A and B are shown apart, each in its own frame.
Chain A
Amino acid sequence: MQMTASAKPVLDVQGLTVRLPGGADRINAVENVSFAVSPGEIVCVVGESGSGKSVTAHAIMGLLPPRQLTVAGGRVLLEGDDILAKSRAAMRKIRGARIGMIFQEPMTALNPVMKVGDQIAEVLDIHTALNERERRQRVLDVMGSVHLPEPERMIDVYPHQLSGGQRQRIMIAAALVLDPALLIADEPTTALDVTTQAQILKLIKELRERRNTGVLFITHDFGVVAEVAHRVVVMQHGRVVEQGTTEDVLRRPRDEYTRMLIRSVPSLSPPARKPLENSVAVLQTKALNKTYTTGGLFTARHDVRAARDVNLIVCRGETLGVVGESGSGKSTVARCIARLIEPSDGAILIEGADVAKLSSRKLRPHRKRVQIVFQDPYRSLNPRRSVGAAITEGPVNFGMTEGAAHERARELMRLVGLDADALTRFPHQFSGGQRQRICIARALAMEPELLVADEPVSALDVSVQAQVLALIDDVRKRFNLAVLFITHDLRVAAQVCDRIAVMHRGEVVEEGPTATVFGAPAHAYTRALLDSAPGRDFDFGRFDAE
């Protein structure tokens, strides 16, 4: 990675402070933030939720919501010019021409009723005086440089006809068409699949090199930081706690918070595991199929095979990871196993009993044996009911008295590391990580044989992730559960799962012990998946001079 440190910085942020409206948990969203981006350099601003990294990016662009967040101090120099001092009209001329910005959600960031070519051409229309033919040529050129296939055809296409990765390329094209000095990327790959993410990161690196653009890259993912950053800025609660070169910050972090964060990043190398002996299969699926049919009277019938002939086994005391990208069918399989949806075909054996096609009445007694922990802790608990009511609901349904259920709830709260007296509180009084613990307690209240964890930590900050994962592991050992762990995050899978099944387009393409799958992947897709993991060459948590 080249560094042109001696040149004048493209972006120089000096003491930026942004004030929050009254009544928030702190006075300033962002306080006294200073860092610089040189030409051709990628600077990653990394932090957890609430750290103020996105607010910083928006403040630089002048896109803060006008009545809520106000800049209260500091200077932002773009190639020497203080842009905070500029008028709104002057700032508009800079946006798109000297600073380009790309956002997190490529689907919603593009206007659904406008052709993608027109959306790129709009930048030229605003800032240049080119005629239509010249504009079209420039658009085609930039589409080529972001490696979009068949630009001539694609220029007239609408956003919904493109994939997530292609849409993000369109956004990048629009941001870079006028060769700005600075590109701001606000979590541009967070919503993309791992393989797509790898391509976009590669594209950004390539464009940066060719055009010598300075890149300010906001992210929460340290793997991405290791992959692309030259320099790193770590933010917490609106302040910069540490900054330096990637090497320095990742290998020799000085601040305690930074050390904690980096240590929490799971490693891609799976730890050694003892093989299970004499264990009983709790869950076995045989040729599990789920097909969705769309189409009706006047449209063509269209079959989507979300799960194809899936065979899985999970034994007592082990964690089977199901890994895949979006559309791989892993969530479908989990929901079939939990009988939230009915499979089209196949058998689901829970300790020998086939629950695949049972009616809801016959299914009811089996409900206790499989429990789920969901992905989104903010939607997994009924906001209007106390946490205690949520945990006791299941046991009471199956005949336990209120008193006994309450006792069990208290026990479980303590087990998951929360205060037993907090049972009377409501979900909004807990943080995301705490809510996820409550969901685990709720699942355990039913005394299940199989615990299905559907992306249980994907929505949590990295520091909290580690705690919840440790809890799941602890719980598994203590109750000798079988755990089915669904995730798209290879690092988490490596650390938590005994065995791994890789899914692609509805099929299980590879299965085996974690060490084998990660160390010597047999299937081409598994290899592609592992190759795409950002920062895979980096070993987090191994600090120098410790």
Chain B
Amino acid sequence: MSVEPALLAKETAAPAPKPGRTGRLGRDSGIIFGAAVLLLMTLIGICAPLLGTKNPSDINPAFRNRVPGIEQTIRNDDGSTTTFKYRMGTDSLGRDIYSRVVYGARVSLLIGIAVAVISIAIGLFIGLIAGYLRWVDAIVMRLMDGLMAIPAILLAIALVSLFRAGLVSVIIAIIIPEIPRVVRLVRSIVLSVREEPYVEAAIMAGTRTPLLLVRHILPNTIPALIVQGTFICANAILIEAILSFLGIGIPPETPTWGNIMAEGRGLFRIYPHNIFFPGICLALTVLAVNVLGDGLRDRLDPKLARRM
């Protein structure tokens, strides 16, 4: 059997990296950019109180709907004055948008990461079993098909309507539509790995099924799941924003980028800063995570592009 065609194929599959630092940087630029922005946003969220913000729920009726840049002089108890600059303006209740956006990073990112981790964990578990045990497969795939038939946002909306509005219910409502896709991905990997001779050799060595799944089959799913996880994170942040925008997301006491925009939609024509500042932050973060996911996929397994 000739390896010549394989030689040719190998050469055409991945373009040889250009020698030197720029070549390597060029290939991983997506990962670097995405990870950097994500890290930045996370830091901003964590360090929110230290970044010149005030309490995001502070209602200040005197300063409603101010344009960005306006300043307010506050008289303190001891007679001194402090000036506070509303860098991004205020919303219809006089709250500082800059503070809300910075604190909003916390919730939006928390939702993104929580949804990604939990849906991957659940999907992996179900997918492994469904891929390996045929009778489980038949039932599970029917269920997954049914769930996937309902467009994701509709499903999330419906689930949110079932529970009282809150962080946990929103997270659950976003997780459930993501699970079927993860299950499908894991299952397809399991089905193909199952046929590999080394798995059959392990069967012949007497390895029991649970150990077989964990030791030989599961590691093959990790690269795909890492990539899928980043895309789920990006999607979750988007969906939370949409839910909040429609008024069925997280209540406005806890600022998220989505509900800041929701509040501002009524007066959009005159005060667009309500929507633009959180919108840009949201778009940038989601973009960064998507680019990170792309970069990871190109690095870990280019064949994934077809599976997803």
Instruction: Let me know if B12 is at the binding interface, CB within 8 A.
Output: yes
Within 8 A of A (CB), among B190-206: 196-198, 200-206
A-B contact count (CB 8 A): 102
A55 and B16 within 8 A (CB): no
Interface string of B200-240 (1 = CB under 8 A from A): 11111111100000011001000000000000000000000
A358–chain B nearest beta-carbon distance, Å? 13
Interface residues on B, range: 20 to 34
A364 at the interface (CB under 8 A from B): yes
Pick from B11, B196, B205: contact of A397, CB below 8 A. B205
CB within 8 Å for A442 and B7 given contacts A21-B16, A54-B2, A459-B1: no
Indicate whether A379 sits within 8 Å of B16 (C-beta atoms), given known contacts A104-B2, A190-B2.
no
- Shortest Cβ distance from residue B248 to the other chain A in the assembled complex, whole angstroms: 42
Q: Are B11 and A65 in contact (CB under 8 A)?
A: yes
Q: A54-B2, A374-B200, A380-B201 are in contact. Are A29 and B7 (CB under 8 A)?
A: yes
Interface residues as binary, A38-54 with B (CB distance below 8 Å gives 1, 0 otherwise): 00000000000111111
From the candidates A49, A370, A376, name the one contacting B197 in the complex (CB within 8 A): A376
Query: What DSSP secondary structure best describes chain B's contact surface?
Result: helix
A398 touches B198 (CB 8 A): no
Is B19's CB within 8 Å of the partner chain A?
yes
Name which residue of chain A comes closest to B17, CB basis: A23
Provide the residues of chain B in CB contact with A220, threshold 8 Å.
1-2
Contact, CB under 8 Å: A393 / B198: no
Chain A contact patch, size range: 35 or more
CB contacts under 8 Å to B, within A50-93, are: 50-55, 58, 64-65, 67-69
Residues 1-44 of chain B, each 1 if its beta carbon lies under 8 Å from chain A, else 0: 11111111001100110010000000000000000000000000
8 Å CB contacts to A: which residues of B242-272?
none
Complex interface: chain B residues within 8 A of A397 (CB): 205-208
Q: Is the CB of B198 within 8 A of A340?
A: no
Does A310 lie at the interface of the complex (its beta carbon under 8 Å from any beta carbon of B)? no
For B203, the closest partner residue in chain A by CB is A340
CB-CB < 8 A to A459: which residues of B? 1
A384 with B219: in contact, given A23-B16, A376-B197 (CB under 8 Å)? yes
List of A residues within 8 angstroms of B196 by Cβ: 379
CA distance A393 to B73 in the complex (A): 74
Question: Which listed residue (B7, B207, B219) contacts A54, Cβ 8 A?
Answer: B7
Given A21-B16, A394-B205, A394-B206, A54-B8 contact (CB < 8 Å): yes
**Minimum Cβ distance to chain A for residue B142 (Å):** 15
Q: Are B204 and A22 closer than 8 Å at their CB atoms?
A: no
Docked CA distance A394–B3 (Å): 32
Check B219–A22 contact: CB distance below 8 A.
no
Q: How far is the CA of A246 from the CA of B216 in the complex (A)?
A: 49
Instruction: Kindly list 17 other residue pairs between chains A and B, CB separation below 8 angstroms, not including A55-B7, A374-B200.
Output: A21-B16, A29-B7, A49-B4, A50-B7, A51-B4, A52-B4, A58-B8, A69-B11, A104-B2, A187-B4, A218-B4, A371-B204, A379-B197, A397-B205, A397-B206, A442-B205, A458-B1
10 nearest A-B residue pairs (beta carbon): A54-B4, A49-B3, A394-B205, A68-B11, A374-B197, A397-B206, A21-B16, A65-B12, A380-B197, A367-B206
- In the assembled complex, 7 residue pairs joining A and B whose CB atoms fall closer than 8 Å, in A order, are A49-B3, A54-B5, A54-B7, A67-B15, A379-B196, A381-B198, A390-B198
